Structure 1
Amino acid sequence: MTPNTDPRTKYTQPPMPEQHQEPQPGDTARMTPAPDHGEETYRGSGRLSGQRALITGGDSGIGRAVAIAYAREGADVAISYLAEEQEDAAATKSLVEEAGRTCATLPGDLRNEQDCIDAVEKTV
């Protein structure tokens, strides 16, 4: 951001176009405007070096933003997501790896207790 850029007007302003996607969960690629997960804007400072994080719903949305931020802060991440979200998960994995960290992808449904147990064990 340049010194004269007003952060209140730098990004897309409301009203946003109404959007609804079926079936749920939605698809990041079909959103207008495209969400900002920090791909181009977030710069880390190593605050999580040597740590690991398990991020549920890490394939897209807030989960993707968290995965990027944690990776740029130095953490290796594991992301859990629904199997049908594989394409978004692969994109998140690429962004984490671009930050120089590892990313384990853990498809599953966290409504299933065994999927929860497996995700934690694979992350550890």
Structure 2
Amino acid sequence: MTSDQTTPQDPRTQYPQPPQPEQEQPVPGLAQEMRPKPDHGEESYVGSGRLEGRRAIVTGADS
């Protein structure tokens, strides 16, 4: 990866690729059938802590 920001780069090859096998599943695929299991962040996500101790009202706003 070069540090030149004006040269177009293919984002598919710009970052390291994990060594995982190709998988075939009928569409739509199921995450529970994938090996290794995908990480959607439900348990691994760590917040920044900027809102710790605060409260918020979350509304539908656009509905």
Q: Between Structure 1 and Structure 2, which shows a larger proportion of helix residues? A: 1
Larger radius of gyration: 2
Please identify which structure carries the higher strand content.
1
Q: Which bracket does the TM-score occupy, shorter chain normalised? A: 0.3 to 0.5
Q: Using structure 2 for the length normalisation, give the TM-score.
A: 0.46
Which protein has greater RCO, CA pairs closer than 8 Å, 6+ apart? 1
